[in-house]
Structure 1
Amino acid sequence: MTIELHTWNTPNGRKISVALEEMGLPYRVVPVDITKGAQMAPAFLAISPNNKIPAIVDPDGPDGKPVSVFESGAILLYLGEKTGQFLPKQLSERIPVYEWLMWQMGGFGPMPGQVHHFIALDSEQDRAYGLKRYMAETVRLYGVLDRRLASHEFVAGPLSITDFAILGWAWRHPRHKVDLADFPNVKRWYDTLMARPAVKRGMEAKLD
């Protein structure tokens, strides 16, 4: 059965389209135009109480009943559990997946997102303050990721939902004003993922 992906063309939306493609799950995009406030519509609120994209509706949820899931990290964990893919079975092997997924959700997303915000401001004074604060933290997070990938092919061991989560934001590195050449291990990882056919399909899927 076809999963509904309620989303827009954002890093968090791309996480899920990539995961769905990699997992081979049929899905249909339901665009939520956040530039026009569509995320505030009551119908969307019913499946995403925080009024944020993405959210999914799976007609074949647990026990065969429909289920909706919001928050991109929760969606990735749900899809990993549902399919048994990209989420290790052993708890000891899941720990780094959980750790690095939370790292992305708590830092490598919110911080680059602030860079996006301040770059777009008209006020030079406000822009300079914001970029000084959030650009430094974004670059630091790229450094953390680069050190991790110096000794790991993928972030949490084997290819996992964590890679899809982080890729959604690394995809926007030009907008972060980050040159991946400064982070060679991140660049190697990024190029490897972007060369995967399913990742390409997920990145090219029309989400808006």
Structure 2
Amino acid sequence: MFEIKLDYIIAKYNKISENPDDSSEDDISHKIIDKFLIYLGYDEDNFHYEGITNSKKFYDILIDCPNNNKLIVEVKRINHVFTDKDKAQLSGYINDKKAEWGILTNGNEYLLMNNLISGINSSDSCCLKYELIKNYTTSSNMNDMILKYFSYKYIFEKKASRYFAEFQGFKVKSLSNSSKSSIKQYQSANYNFLSTLLILLIMLSR
């Protein structure tokens, strides 16, 4: 299979988004999400579609990874606005499959969720957000930096994404009374710090 580039995935998304009402969740899954996951280093041979959980619910994609690790992906239609119900739905799938990580996506927005953050609700378990087509919720540099923490390498091999899950737990429990602007500035500074620190730790471990 040819090497997938991010520009190729963006072009696929742009084409589908021209007529969003004509695209089902299956279309988005197979034309965009599969390619995006492969780009992030996940093995296509380990993708399982529309399986059933212990509570008789159907997940969209489950990826089996080495060492009994799993990633659950829940796909919504293009332009779908995520709700707390969507996050609770994915959280339930993650729990049922005894996994830690999941991704909620509409093809453009990707929320990385961690189910092992203690003491918080499923609606707060999103620790990172990436946008395929950049909007204005984060800076372009921040958006680009975040992408690698969705990858197989950073979630399951280096386990670096866990630091952002820990930070999310701290943010929810300790900064709940702060203003949104203060939290955003604090979050940006910490994301940059964590990214730099993790790069140094990875270099030292070689």
**What TM-score do you get using the length of structure 1 for normalisation?**
0.30
User: Which structure shows the bigger proportion of residues in strand conformation?
Assistant: 2
User: Which structure shows the bigger proportion of residues in helix conformation?
Assistant: 1
**What TM-score do you get using the length of structure 2 for normalisation?**
0.31
